[in-house]
């Protein structure tokens, strides 16, 4: 599924497309809807950089075995493992 966001929305929010993707990734991770790898991928960042972003916002990295396994599946799907 693709989501189209009008340029006017980005202008009103004073955000770039990259910033919006980053904000959505952070929000979905913080709400435990995305794993770390999924959120980082949506944000267009590697996991280390995304972890730094989370730390800068005092968002703890909740990471357990099922999330690790989900991240491994995600990495295999995108061909990075």
Please name which of 18, 22, 15, 20 lies closest in space to residue 59, comparing C-alpha atoms: 22
> pTM of the full predicted structure?
0.73
Mind listing the pLDDT tens digit for each residue in 55-77? Answer: 999 998 877 788 788 888 888 88
Would you say 66 and 48 are in contact if contact means Cβ atoms under 8 Å apart? no
Mind listing the pLDDT tens digit for each residue in 38-59? Answer: 999 999 999 999 999 999 999 9
CA distances from 33 to 15, 29, 38, 42 (A): 23, 6, 9, 12
Angstrom distance (rounded) from CA 48 to CA 14: 26
For the chain, the structural domain boundaries read: 17-77
Tokens, residue 10: 């980005």
């Amino acid at each position: 599924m693709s989501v189209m966001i009008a340029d006017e929305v980005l202008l009103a929010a004073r955000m770039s497309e990259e910033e919006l993707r980053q904000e959505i990734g952070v929000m979905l991770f913080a709400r435990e809807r995305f794993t770390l790898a999924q959120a980082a991928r949506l944000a267009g960042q590697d996991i280390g950089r995304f972890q730094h972003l989370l730390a800068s916002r005092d968002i703890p990295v909740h990471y357990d075995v099922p999330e690790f396994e989900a991240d491994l599946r995600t990495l295999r799907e995108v061909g990075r493992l």
